[in-house]
Structure 1
């Protein structure tokens, strides 16, 4: 069945995806706003807010919030991204009523206590410190900062100790009202869910919400540059980002397939050439990260510092080689991998609920998986080559290298290849 989308009077959208025979239900309440909508003064507030609403809401304490869900066999969680914030409950089939009520309290009626905020700032500060101490977290932050310097996409979702230190209960509550405005909320349920019951719960719990959401984010600009940091580590961590397309671009699926062929699995070009043939790295992967209006093609590698420069050269060569049309067998394998991941992901009720909410936020509707598979199959070798040329034609790259000093030469190799 195709999920059905409804709109409440205040603009909240509701998606119902019933799965006959399931004994569980997943509910995602997703706001189409996140860290990308922060100015520098409020950097990290969206993530801090996500923490704070769990400290108490709707008359329940922090402990009550989790205990009442877990007592019914359920689980509750939340996540903050650049473009959205998601609250999720997984429960047995009769747990939708309670799950909806609890999430509604989190989103609309948090306590925002002064003492809780002071303690949570300490917790988030520890989370920021942990990320700084984790090389394969820090190197991605450095690359993101180089790619989108001076913009929200270039700042860490966690913010900084200084920026989160500015938050007060009153200011954070005002930020909540703007971040979770009803016209950006999607209530999405999948699994053992009845459509009429879901609509009644959504109207009860979210239909009276009012307020104006933050306006659309400014268009992001890929700037590029180099971020290197010498650090005593056993291994060098290297990230390369190139400017690509956003999720609404006609070349979106071509980008996904390009990343898959470049470094998406053990049969990919980078794995075979850099690891299997040359032994330059244990871990090397390519991926695409897409936002509403832009995206990146990325490569991550962990290698010996002495091999980093050669690895950069090999990686650059493999990307440049994709400006020539790929073989049909290689493209067919990438298509099979992408479609396999897509359909396997839909075997989780929570993944279906989250995916449907994201599609509604981006396109105003849910997408038929078979139609998406058809779009994947329609991508041609020429389209892949043209997209690669388009990416390289920008002559921009964001490079981050973290590790022993000899590894830092990899940054110059990448810059010479892509932005020289």
Structure 2
């Protein structure tokens, strides 16, 4: 059965159909554009991995582009380049997405290519060995970029040796240890239809995509399997796994993240938390930016971030500065968080943050890719599609007392510190 989920000037026409076998198809029709973005989502990510296969989901994402039963890697690349399209993929903690952006007239090609990757990849031993080197180079590239490395270090410091604490990329040791049986077995077991969602946005018609998907997935769309249940996840930890983490490196800047556990993505307080995040460190008018960069010129970059997973999440503040300024920057961050905890935000700050979030949400939906992504994340992460106007309404419904309550809970918790820079372990207590 096809459901009409949204039809207005903000959200466009959104339709959803659940096919036999548990596969779900969602479209958002945007008549004013000439392109379409297609995504095939699989509800598996690094959070599903044990230590022995850490990085398998991301490794597999790479490997699927190496060829299928009927197409070589060159065939796949040539077909997409010939129509001026773009095809890529990404792996996250809780899902993997393969996507293509094409002219609307080339949507059949995009469906054929992406569905072939997801259902008919060969994952040969030879391809595994060549791509292993590529993934190891990606890990090395992450390690060479301190501002990237500190984020993985923060996750490890906050969540410990758990799936949420481990990097999506895996480790050098885990990647070197993965066999063809490990990766292909992961593909065979995890890429089943109940875990797959197909989304498209742009100049698309829902029935057209249903026809294309039906032809591409064929016999896999059989049986009465239900979609995979919504991932609930473990609740947020009561405190960080450890107080501090360090990657000692000779860098010109020290990169640091100070943060704490936060609520999961289904928690209704997430709207108040997002307003708090925007006011504290979400833009050039935020408290941290004004206090640390504009007034004192201590940093080039400073800001906060709120991340939600199933059942858990994190709030963190990032800053990059010279080693001699680190103590003062950390002091100012802590003082500002303490001030917000004690006093909350005033009405003007709350109103400004609402406007920032609402404007960012609507402006972020100006292209087909962002709308396609919103459909996929809504289905896999929330189990429902919230029209844009409803999200705007929920943000409008937040008041100062709700923001103050979230601040008091978040910032009163134990915090942890992740540091990449020229330090020794003995320096961490002082920081």
Report the number of matched residues: 412
Contact 2:234–2:310 under 8 Å retained in 1 = no
Gap change, CA 1:392 and 1:351, over 3 Å in 2: same
Q: Which residue pairs with 2:186 in the alignment?
A: 175
Asked if residue 403 in structure 1 is aligned to residue 421 in structure 2, the reply is: yes
Q: Which residue pairs with 1:384 in the alignment?
A: 403
Q: Which residue pairs with 1:416 in the alignment?
A: none
Q: Which residue pairs with 1:142 in the alignment?
A: 153
Q: Which residue pairs with 1:209 in the alignment?
A: 220
1:303-359 per-position Cα deviation (integer Å, ceiling 9, x unaligned): 111110111111011112122231111111111111111101111101101111110
Post-superposition offset of 1:299: 0.7
Taking structure 1 as the reference length, the TM-score comes to: 0.93
Q: Which residue pairs with 2:10 in the alignment?
A: none
Post-superposition offset of 1:37: 0.5
Please list every run of at least 4 consecutive aligned residues from structure 1 whose deviation after the TM superposition is greater than 4 angstroms: 210-218, 406-413
Post-superposition offset of 1:287: 1.1
1:72-125 per-position Cα deviation (integer Å, ceiling 9, x unaligned): 221100000001100001000111111111111111111111111111111111
Q: Which residue pairs with 2:4 in the alignment?
A: none
Contact 2:257–2:317 under 8 Å retained in 1 = yes
Structure 2: stretches of 5+ with no match in the other structure: 1-6, 8-12
Q: Give the one of 101, 110, 128 matched to 1:99.
A: 110
2:231 and 2:267 mapped to 1: Cα distance? 18
Kindly report which structure 2 residues correspond to 1:8-407, keeping only aligned pairs within 5 A, or say none. 8-206=19-217, 208-209=219-220, 216=231, 218-219=233-234, 221-222=236-237, 223-224=239-240, 225-323=243-341, 324-393=343-412, 395-405=413-423
Gap change, CA 1:245 and 1:348, over 3 Å in 2: same
Post-superposition offset of 1:216: 4.7
Post-superposition offset of 1:217: 7.1
Contact 1:236–1:407 under 8 Å retained in 2 = no
Q: Give the one of 8, 16, 25 matched to 1:5.
A: 16
Taking structure 2 as the reference length, the TM-score comes to: 0.91
Gap change, CA 1:272 and 1:107, over 3 Å in 2: same
Gap change, CA 1:51 and 1:352, over 3 Å in 2: same
Contact 1:306–1:406 under 8 Å retained in 2 = no
1:220 and 1:52 mapped to 2: Cα distance? 33
Contact 2:45–2:96 under 8 Å retained in 1 = yes
Contact 1:400–1:411 under 8 Å retained in 2 = no
Structure 1: stretches of 5+ with no match in the other structure: 414-420
2:422 and 2:173 mapped to 1: Cα distance? 29
Post-superposition offset of 1:44: 0.2
| DSSP-derived class of the 1:187 partner | strand
Gap change, CA 1:329 and 1:43, over 3 Å in 2: same
Root-mean-square deviation (CA, aligned residues, Å) is 2.0
2:186 and 2:404 mapped to 1: Cα distance? 44
**Of 117-126 and 362-371, the range deviating more from structure 2:** 362-371
1:194 and 1:272 mapped to 2: Cα distance? 47
Gap change, CA 1:8 and 1:156, over 3 Å in 2: same
| DSSP-derived class of the 1:365 partner | coil
**Of 283-292 and 169-178, the range deviating more from structure 2:** 169-178
Post-superposition offset of 1:131: 1.1
